Amino acid sequence: MGDEHQLAISTRGLRKTYRTRQGRSVGVQGLDLDVPVGGVHGFLGPNGSGKTTTIRMLLGLIRPDSGSAQIFGHEVPRDLPAVIDRVGAIVESPKFYPAFSGRRNLELLATGIGAPRTEVDRVLAEVGLTERAKDKFRGYSLGMKQRLAIAATLLKDPDLLIFDEPTNGLDPAGIKEIRSTMRSLADRGKTVLVSSHILGEVEQVADTVSIVSRGTLVAQGRVADLIGASTQSVRLCITDTSAATFALVEAGYAVRDDAGVLVVDGVAESSHVTRVLADRGLYLSELVPVRADLESVFLELTGDDGPGASHEIAFAGAGARQPGDQGGEAA
């Protein structure tokens, strides 16, 4: 029992299929998800992998076909009323009453949950929406809608925040802001579950991640551990590529030629690469370490068996990488 309370979210064999015209489509297929208490937890997967479906089931918006889920040790959706005050969530795009102002929307929610009106001003200020609070929700930009949604979740001062693709459609400044919001929430001891199909967005802020593909969990753990399991690569610019390739292969490296640039995989120490080449009288004009990151792990795990969805994965925050640098090929 005590062990279970270490988990903010835990699901076992969670399964959901949707009835469609073509028959049944699988949303989530036997998902076992564990989200520890505290910190930011990334919930990653390509489009259509079942992230939103999972979140909806956790919040009791849709019913699972089978399996079980717990939030802070409470069976959901059965005991959801007991924990709902500790959970704030944004599912997909924020949906409020379009004809009401942002403030009116929050005031209605505050009335509904019995939170004092003063809280409304506080959360509006917290997300920087005070000035536009009187405008109709309908007239908000995407970023303002997201902020209002975050403000709404803060009305409850929850212990667990669930953000489903919170940076969808935001500009870089907005993305950065949301990231720092998530970080500061986690630093205040709250648990943040953030789903995304954009890896770079989550990688920088997440402490732990779960990766799903086609409705099942493919990896779960600390970011550092997942990266550790992956290999590191460097890119070399050198005049005599064939001699360099020969030398490196002889030294035990896997080498690829990427449009005149050599990509060396399985590198533990880049200085060793330099030395191997120098020993043969070969000198580098440039050596760029390819940041080994979650992305390669992600693509490795979701790329091949994804339902043709891997190409939809975007690389936000991947400024350090060059085009054509497909981590997947390193595998």
Partner 1 sequence: MRLLRAELWRFRSRLLIRWIAVGTLVIAGLVAVGAYVQSAPMPEDQVAMMRADYDATVADYAENGAQYLEDCRAQAEEQGLSDEEWGCTEEAYSVGDFEDWIGPPSEFGWDEPEAVEGPELSPYNGTPVEDLPAELRSEPLVGMEAVEGASWSGVGNVLTLLPVFVLLGLVTGVTFTAAEMSSGAISNWLTFEPRRRRVFWSKASGAALGTLPIALVGIAVAGLGSYAAYGLHDAYGTMGSEQWGYFAGGMARALVAAVVAAVVGASLGILLRHTAIVAGVVVGWFVVAEFILGLAMQVSALTPYLLSTNLVAWIQGGTNYQVTRCVVDDTQGEICEGVNYAVSTAHGGIVLGAVAVVVTLFAVLVFRRRDVG
Least distance from Mg ion to the Cβ atom of residue 83, Å = 22
Q: Which among ligand ATP, partner 1, Mg ion, none contacts residue 53 (Cβ within 5 to 8 A by kind)?
A: ligand ATP
Least distance from ligand ATP to the Cβ atom of residue 263, Å = 29
Q: Which among partner 1, ligand ATP, Mg ion, none contacts residue 45 (Cβ within 5 to 8 A by kind)?
A: ligand ATP
Residues 77-96 that bind partner 1 (CB under 8 A): 77, 80-81, 84, 87-89, 91, 94-96
User: Does 63 help bind partner 1 (rule: CB under 8 A)?
Assistant: yes
Which tokens hold the place of 293?
């990151």
Least distance from partner 1 to the Cβ atom of residue 109, Å = 6
In the complex with ligand ATP, the residue whose CB is nearer, 290 or 313, is 313
Q: Which of 104, 122, 183, 280 binds partner 1 (CB under 8 A)?
A: 104
Using CA atoms, how far apart are residues 131 and 128, in angstroms rounded to an integer?
8
3-state SS string for 47-65? CCCCHHHHHHHHCCCCCCC
- Chain mean position to CA 116: 33
In the complex with partner 1, the residue whose CB is nearer, 148 or 206, is 148
Strands (E), the chain: 7-20, 23-31, 34-36, 39-44, 66-71, 74-76, 87-90, 160-164, 191-196, 208-213, 216-222, 233-237, 254-258, 261-265, 286-290
Q: Parallel, antiparallel, or unpaired: how do β-strands 160-164 and 34-36 relate?
A: unpaired
Of residues 280, 230, 270, 271, the one with CA closest to residue 250: 280
Residues 22-61 that bind Mg ion (CB under 5 A): 52
Q: Contact residues for partner 1 (CB under 8 A)?
A: 56, 59-63, 77, 80-81, 84, 87-89, 91, 94-100, 104, 107-109, 111-114, 149, 152, 156
